[in-house]
Structure 1
Amino acid sequence: MIGPRNIASDINNNNNKMDEENLKEDSPKKPKLDGGKFPLSRWELIAAITVFFVFSTGLLSVYATMPSADYGNIKLPRSISDIRLLKDHLALYASDYPAQFILGYCSTYIFMQTFMIPGTIFMSLLAGALFGVIKGLILVVLNATAGASSCYFLSKMIGRPMVSWLWPEKLKMFHAEIGKRRDKLLNYMLFLRITPTLPNTFINLASPIVDIPFHVFFLATLVGLIPASYITVRAGLALGDLKSVRDLYDFKTVVVLLLIGSISIIPTFLKKKRTYE
C-alpha cells in the first residue's frame, strides 16, 4: 500500500537526483584524457598534416635549388661521429656555396624545431664546427628562435588537445606558475629558457596554451637560449674531446646555467620583498 509518506519520500528522492544533475551541468567540465585515444579531431589532424606538407614542400624546394653534391656523404647528424664525418664533407661545400648552404642549414634547423624532430643539438654542434663560435652562435640562436616561434603558432592553432593529452599534470603546474608571475613574466620565461628546468619542446608547445604573449615568448627565447647555445656551439670546435652529448652538460655546466638563470628572477624576489615591507 502506497501511503502519503512513501509518495513524499519518492518526490524528495527525485528532487535530490535532479539537484545533483543540475550541479553536474553547472560545474565546469574537465576534459577527459584517455591515454589510448588520439587527442586531435579530424579537422585538427588535417590542419596538422597540411602545415607539415607545406613546410616539407618548402624544404624540398630549397634542397632542389642547391648545387649538386655527393649526397651519399651528407645526412642528418644523429651522433658525434656523424658530425665528425659531416664536418669534412660539408666544409668544402660551405666554402664553395656559402649562401646556398646557409639557406639549406637554416631551413632544416627551423623545420626540425617547428615539428619537434630530435637532433637540433647536433645541428648546433655542426654550426660551431663549420663557422666558429661567433657566427655559429648567431646562426643557432636565430634559427632556434625562428623554429620555436613556428612551433608556438602551430601549438596555438592545434596544440591544446595534444599537450593536455601528453603532459596533463605538467601543463597544470606550468599554468599555475605562470599565473603567479604575470607581473614579471619575462623574467620567469628567461629563467626557464636559460636553465634546464623544463624541456624547450614543452615550453614551445605549452606557452600559447597558458596565454603567454608572443612578444614575451620571442624575447625570452632570443635572449634565454644564448648561454646554452654558446656552450654547444663552442663544443663544436673540439669534437675530438666529445664522446657523447652528455659531456656537454656536466654538473659544472648545469650549475653555471642555474646561476645565470637565477639572475633573471632577482627582480621578482626584490619586488616581493618590497611588497612585504
Structure 2
Amino acid sequence: MSSDPRSPLIPPVSETVEQTTTYAAIDHRQPQESPSSTNNDVTIAVKQMTTRTWRSNSYVWSIIMLGILLFVSTCLEIAVLKFNLPGLDKEDREAIHFPKNFDDLKALNAIMSGYIQQHFVNVYTTFFFTYIYLQSFSLPGSMWLSILGGALFNPWLALLTVAISSAIGSTVAYAISASLGSVAVMRLFSDRFMKWNDQLADHRKHMFNYVLVLKLAPLPPNWLINLGAPHLNVPVWAFFWGTFLGVAPPSFIHVQAGAALDKLSSSDELVLMTPMNALWLIAIGIAALIPVYVRRRYHL
C-alpha cells in the first residue's frame, strides 16, 4: 500500500501532484472541457492545510504517538478517579472502575448513590471527563456509563451531559485521526474509507444530516465514523452537531433505563431495544433525511 495516507481516496491522474502538497481531496464537480482533456481525466482540488494540527509522517511514528497520547490520557483519568472523589472508604474506592456488565453497574450505583449527596460536583465532573475519555479513544463502556448517569442524575441533566460529552469526545477522536494518527488510520481502514468516499459523493451538501443518521444507526460503529470523518472531508462543525443530536435519542433510552435501575434485580430485566424504541429511532432517522429530500427534490 502506498505510504501516502490519503492516496486510496484519489484516483489515478495523468499529472503528478508535488510532494509539497499537504492535503489532497477529490473535487466532485465535473471537470471543464479542454482540448487536452481525456475521458479519464479528473479534477483534483488541492487544499493547503491551514490548521495547526500535528500530522504524522510514518506508520511507526503514528502508532508511537497514539500510544503516548493514550498513556498520558489514561494517567490523567486515573488521577481524576483517585483525587476527585475524596472521602471514599478504601473498600469502596477499590470498587470504582468502568462498568462492564449489569453487576458492575449495580455495585457502582450503590456506592455513588450515597456519595453523591455530599459530593455532587465531584461525581458529576468525574462522570463528564470519564465519558469524554472513553469516547476520545473509542474504549468500551459508554453505554453502561450512560445508564449509570440516568441512575445518578436528573434524567434531562444526564441526557444533556451524555450528548455533550459524546460530541466532545468524538470530536477529539476526529482531531487525533486527522493529525497524530493519520497514517495509522489510513493504513488500517483505507479500503473502507474509499467505499464511503464514493457513497458521500451525493451528500457533500448534507453532511450534518448524514452524520446525524449515522450516529443514530447501530452500524457502522461510532468509533469508525469518528476515525473516518476527517479523511472524508466532513466539516468539524457538521460532525460535532451531527454527533450531539444523533446520539441523543439512543442515549435517552439508556438514561431511561438507568432511572429504573434500582428496581431491576437482574440483567434480564434490562431491556433497551424494544420494538417501540426501534420504531422511534427509525422515525427520527427518517425525519432527519426529509430536509435532504426536499433540498434535492426542489434543487434548493
Distance 1:267 1:75, change over 3 A: same
Kindly state the Cα deviation for residue 186 of structure 1 after the two structures are TM-superposed.
1.3
**Corresponding residue for residue 50 of structure 1:** 68
* Aligned counterparts of 2:251 and 2:209: Cα–Cα separation in 1: 19
Cα deviations by residue, 1:23-70 (Å, 9 ceiling, x for unpaired): x99688xxxxxxxxxxx6222122212222331232233234321412
**Corresponding residue for residue 262 of structure 1:** 286
* Aligned counterparts of 2:109 and 2:213: Cα–Cα separation in 1: 33
Distance 1:125 1:256, change over 3 A: same
1:80–1:245 Cα contact (<8 Å) kept: no
Distance 1:188 1:241, change over 3 A: farther
Question: Given the alignment of the two structures, is residue 79 of structure 1 paired with residue 97 of structure 2, yes or no?
Answer: no
* Aligned counterparts of 2:163 and 2:15: Cα–Cα separation in 1: 45
> For structure 2, which runs of at least 5 residues remain unmatched after alignment?
1-11, 17-57
Question: Given the alignment of the two structures, is residue 249 of structure 1 paired with residue 273 of structure 2, yes or no?
Answer: yes
Partner SS, residue 285 of structure 2: helix
- Relative to the length of structure 1, the TM-score reads 0.79
Partner SS, residue 230 of structure 2: coil
The answer to which structure has the higher helix fraction is 1
1:87–1:129 Cα contact (<8 Å) kept: yes
> For structure 1, which runs of at least 5 residues remain unmatched after alignment?
1-23, 29-39
- Relative to the length of structure 2, the TM-score reads 0.73
Runs of 4+ off more than 4 Å: 24-28
Partner SS, residue 266 of structure 1: helix
Counterpart among 156, 175, 200 of residue 178 in structure 2: 156
- State the one-letter code of the partner of 1:262: I
* Aligned counterparts of 1:103 and 1:63: Cα–Cα separation in 2: 10
* Aligned counterparts of 2:15 and 2:246: Cα–Cα separation in 1: 40
Q: RMSD of the TM alignment (CA)?
A: 2.7
- State the one-letter code of the partner of 1:247: V
2:59–2:187 Cα contact (<8 Å) kept: no
1:80–1:244 Cα contact (<8 Å) kept: no
- Structure possessing the higher radius of gyration over alpha carbons: 1
**Corresponding residue for residue 100 of structure 1:** 122
Cα deviations by residue, 1:191-220 (Å, 9 ceiling, x for unpaired): 212233422111111101111111111111
Identity, in percent, stands at 26
Counterpart among 228, 236, 239 of residue 250 in structure 2: 228
